[in-house]
Structure 1
Amino acid sequence: MNLKIDVQDAGQEYRITLAGEIDAYTAPNLKEKFMEIAEQDDVRITIDLTDVSYMDSTGLGVFIALLKAIKKHNGSLKFVGVSERLKRLFDITGLTDILNVNSQVEGGVK
């Protein structure tokens, strides 16, 4: 399956909506898109995972690289629409301690 990436740009604030699977096949394209945005100063990124049906460790690696790049440029990163399944993956790997993960979508509950 493919991964759909929708980027909404409002100046230094981005909302990225992902749909599909984040795995070894789709992660390189995702990382490329993210890094273009992450290297801006003071950028704020919200990633909506509502429609992500699957994610493996490759996807987690992309998000860690994204967080490092954003912090280097004084930006912020948060996740919304995180399913119980994905939340468990973040919990098991300890990433909920360093990533802003929220199961609610702004403007409503998933």
Structure 2
Amino acid sequence: MKFEIQTEDNYSIMTLKSERLDSKVAPELKSQFIVLANTSDSGHLILDLSAISFADSSGLGALLLAQRLYRDLDRNLVLCNVPERIKSLLSISQLDNAFTIAADTDEGITLASEMEE
């Protein structure tokens, strides 16, 4: 799974570079979420999904794992730049309310910061 991580003072932005969020990439992505969440200075996570055009249950499971990890650490996870196809999948799966979804990265940063207040 290709991705890019940019770490700032109180948040990290992880930009996924793969088009697929499926069973082939989910295990590696889960591992990366665990490492990033357990890095004490990583702060909140803004996850940029702009490149994703396909997701399956394994991919959604990886996102749910990240959500639980960050929630349990009193940090926030915000999905941003979520393509309509993936938004529809989240809605059909009744997971759209499980995540905070932002229109873009800037809004994601703002939402993550506001949620900590």
Tell me whether the two structures share a fold, i.e. TM-score over 0.5: yes
User: Could you tell me how far 1:19 is from its partner in structure 2?
Assistant: 2.0
DSSP-derived class of the 1:52 partner: coil
Q: State whether structure 2 residue 11 is matched by structure 1 residue 8.
A: no
Name the aligned partner's letter for residue 33 of structure 1. Answer: Q
Determine if contact 1:27/1:62 at 8 Å carries over to the other structure: yes
Structural mapping, 1:74-93, within 5 Å: 74-93=74-93
Cα distance between partner residues in 2 of 1:107 and 1:98: 20
DSSP-derived class of the 2:49 partner: strand
4+ runs deviating over 2 angstroms: 39-43
1:6-26, CA deviations, whole angstroms, 9 ceiling, x for partnerless residues?
Answer: 111114310000122111111
DSSP-derived class of the 1:37 partner: helix
Match of 2:16 in 1: 18
Cα distance between partner residues in 1 of 2:50 and 2:87: 11
DSSP-derived class of the 2:96 partner: helix
Q: Percent identity?
A: 26
Match of 1:31 in 2: 30
Match of 1:57 in 2: 57
Task: Name the count of aligned residue pairs.
Answer: 105
DSSP-derived class of the 1:45 partner: strand
Distance 1:11 1:95, change over 3 A: same
Cα distance between partner residues in 1 of 2:71 and 2:28: 21
Query: Aligned Cα RMSD in Å?
Result: 1.8
**TM-score, scaled relative to structure 1:** 0.86
Determine if contact 1:80/1:106 at 8 Å carries over to the other structure: yes
User: Could you tell me how far 1:59 is from its partner in structure 2?
Assistant: 0.7
Q: Which runs of 5+ in 2 are unaligned?
A: 108-117
